[in-house]
Amino acid sequence: MDKNEHGPLAAIPVQALSLNLTRSAIKMLHSPSWRIDKTNAVHDLVICLTGRAVYEIGGEQVVMEPGSAMLIEANTRFIGRTVSSDLYTGVAQHFTLDVFGRMDLISQMEIRRAVRLPRWEMLAPLVRHYRETVPLSSITLPQHHMFMVFLTQFIEAAFLGWREQQEASVDNPDALSLAVMVAASRIAADPLNDGIVETVLASIPYNLDYFRRTFRRQVGLTPTKYQEFKRMERAMGLLAGGRSVKQTAAFVGYSDSYYFSRMFKHYIGVSPAGYKAAERRHRDGQFPRGQEDGLVVYPLIARNREKQG
């Protein structure tokens, strides 16, 4: 199972995604006698706040209870009923999620039908607020943004992996770009695995030399260099969390801490010790002049593009 500490959407540029809420959210308020047998033309994310219900979807039984979230894919028949004396309440939001405005991203994923949302104690008040502020007709900007939070949390918890990419013409830029995003996501999910790049490239339905060139052009790094960069990002989190340089080097796969330090500075632009010191200053509210926003600069991406362009 692909696991990414930043989620499976981390390698997909924001501008490539298009989320569309096709109608106002449904404010679920169902009595013990409630029944439904329906098919929707778009995806539907259902989140339960109170009560319990059982759904039959494609021969699978799903039990919904407080904190549960369920995705019903477009054009999928579902049969549901309440199974508790309490009111079955929550929200159901119809949506589409496309890449480049044309390709359905959900259909590219292997995901669990239903999960308990992580950090439910934090999300529950937001879901209640979302339900209470549902507009009568048009979709508001806050509603759109809040739903993206719910959808991202669901995908992170339910994501099992990317479906095998079907062979497509190299003249189809959307399919090729999606293949690059999927490959980058899989590498980012497991950067400490020495064989991850080889495994990912083995599943690519394109000429590998052509794909590597396309990957480098779109991501800014070759697949191997991208894995190294993601290792350094993992190292940044460890260093910021208090690990020593030697401990961090060993954790991300470098037996030689001196070589790790050179690689870290090459990718991040500062030594591990310098990064730890900068993090301490940032926590204390001390930012270098011109960096009051606390943003970390990654010089490698631009430098690599200049060298490889």
Neighbours of 90 (CB within 10 A): 26
**pLDDT tens, 242-287?**
899 999 999 999 999 999 999 999 998 899 998 888 887 777 665 5
Ranges under pLDDT 50 in the chain: 1-4, 168-169, 289-290, 292, 300-309
Contact 302, 267 (CB under 8 A): no
Burial class (CB in 10 A: 0-12, 13-18, 19+), 184: buried
CATH numbers and ranges of domains, the chain? 14-162 (2.60.120.10), 170-309 (1.10.10.60)
**pLDDT tens, 105-137?**
898 889 999 999 999 999 999 999 999 998 877
pLDDT reported for residue 231: 93
Q: Which of left, alpha, beta for 155 (phi over 0: left; psi -120 to 50: alpha)?
A: alpha
- In this prediction the pTM is 0.69
CA separation for the pair 214, 221 (Å, rounded): 10
**pLDDT tens, 181-190?**
888 888 888 8
CA separation for the pair 46, 40 (Å, rounded): 13
pLDDT reported for residue 300: 45
Beta bridge partners of 89: 29, 50
CA separation for the pair 197, 190 (Å, rounded): 10
Contact 89, 171 (CB under 8 A): no
Which position has the token pair 């394109």?
A: 206
pLDDT reported for residue 306: 46
